[in-house]
């Protein structure tokens, strides 16, 4: 019997590895190995290089799963030889040479655009960078509308910001050209316009499911997300 691939779950902006807490038990129960690295959220090229380094050190095949900005990261990191499938969760499936800002700019803004907060952080060369996060007061409604309100409050004050520079950085590769892909559209998403998700998936030739969910689909619909990952594993079995 073939060995299950390792599923690498890559979180996006304004979240952390804990955002997959409801999906991990679903996969482990099926004896599917799981790795949930901390995505640095500093730059698209740097984040993709980090995730690629994690993938390279895994023995055997990998299914890369990316949520939101994590979708852009797996688009680049997914060119690693042992990646056999990509799974996007309310994510950005970029084309090579395309940035998050360019893809998003093709469609009307979501409510997130007016809820972003900018703060500064020091860079190694002594200059200052800009971090972007979501106004905690608006986070529950925009990011986590279908989650328990008390959990949403916790998530709102424990965000992992995204460096603003990542929005304008072009993708150096688009792994979906050579790797099969799956994608879930969060049809009630008010963080990313769902049409951004649909467009990217269609362009990538992905197998698509629509889930009536907020942006945090893996917390509100973990079984459906796990089922999509299981399908990617089954179809690419080798």
The per-residue pLDDT for 1 is 47
Tokens of 140: 């529950």
Classify domain 6-111+170-235 at the CATH superfamily level.
Alpha/Beta hydrolase fold, catalytic domain (3.40.50.1820)
Q: Tell me the pLDDT tens digit for each residue of 167-219.
A: 999 999 999 999 999 999 999 999 999 999 999 999 999 999 999 999 999 99
Whole-number average pLDDT of the chain: 97
The per-residue pLDDT for 3 is 84
Burial grade of 195 (CB within 10 A; 0-12, 13-18, 19 or more): middle
Percent of the chain topping pLDDT 90: 98
219 within 8 A of 236, measured Cβ to Cβ: no
Percent of the chain topping pLDDT 70: 99
Q: Tell me the pLDDT tens digit for each residue of 34-81.
A: 999 999 999 999 999 999 999 999 999 999 999 999 999 999 999 999
The per-residue pLDDT for 123 is 92
What global pTM score does this model have? 0.97
Burial grade of 121 (CB within 10 A; 0-12, 13-18, 19 or more): exposed
What does the CA dihedral 47, 51, 53, 59 come to, rounded to 10 degrees?
180
The per-residue pLDDT for 162 is 98
- Nearest CA among 186, 104, 185, 191 for reference residue 139: 191
Whether 2 shows a pLDDT value over 80: the answer reads no
184 within 8 A of 228, measured Cβ to Cβ: yes
| Mean local confidence (pLDDT), 118-122 | 96
Tokens 């424990």 label which residue? 158
Rounded to whole angstroms, how far apart are CA atoms 95 and 97?
Answer: 6
Tokens 């129960």 label which residue? 29
The per-residue pLDDT for 238 is 74
């Amino acid at each position: 019997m073939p060995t299950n691939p390792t599923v690498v779950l890559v979180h996006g902006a304004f979240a952390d590895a804990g955002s997959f807490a409801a999906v991990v038990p679903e996969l482990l129960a099926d004896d599917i190995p799981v790795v949930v690295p901390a995505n640095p959220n500093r730059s698209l090229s740097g984040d993709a290089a980090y995730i690629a380094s994690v993938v390279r050190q895994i023995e055997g095949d990998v299914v890369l799963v990316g949520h939101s900005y994590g979708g852009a990261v797996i688009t680049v990191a997914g060119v690693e030889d042992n990646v056999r499938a990509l799974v996007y969760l309310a994510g950005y499936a970029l084309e090579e040479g395309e940035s998050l800002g360019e893809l998003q700019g093709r469609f009307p803004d979501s409510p997130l655009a007016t809820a972003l907060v900018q703060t500064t952080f020091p860079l190694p060369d002594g200059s200052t960078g800009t971090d972007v996060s979501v106004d905690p007061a608006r986070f529950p409604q925009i990011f986590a509308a279908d989650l328990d309100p008390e959990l949403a409050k916790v998530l709102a004050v424990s965000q992992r910001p995204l460096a603003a520079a990542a929005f304008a950085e072009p993708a150096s590769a688009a792994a979906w050209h050579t790797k099969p892909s799956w994608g879930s559209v969060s049809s009630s998403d008010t963080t990313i316009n769902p049409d951004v998700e649909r467009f990217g998936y269609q362009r990538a030739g992905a197998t698509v499911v629509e889930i009536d969910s907020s942006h945090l689909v893996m917390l509100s619909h973990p079984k459906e997300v796990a089922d999509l990952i299981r399908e990617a594993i089954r179809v690419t079995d080798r």
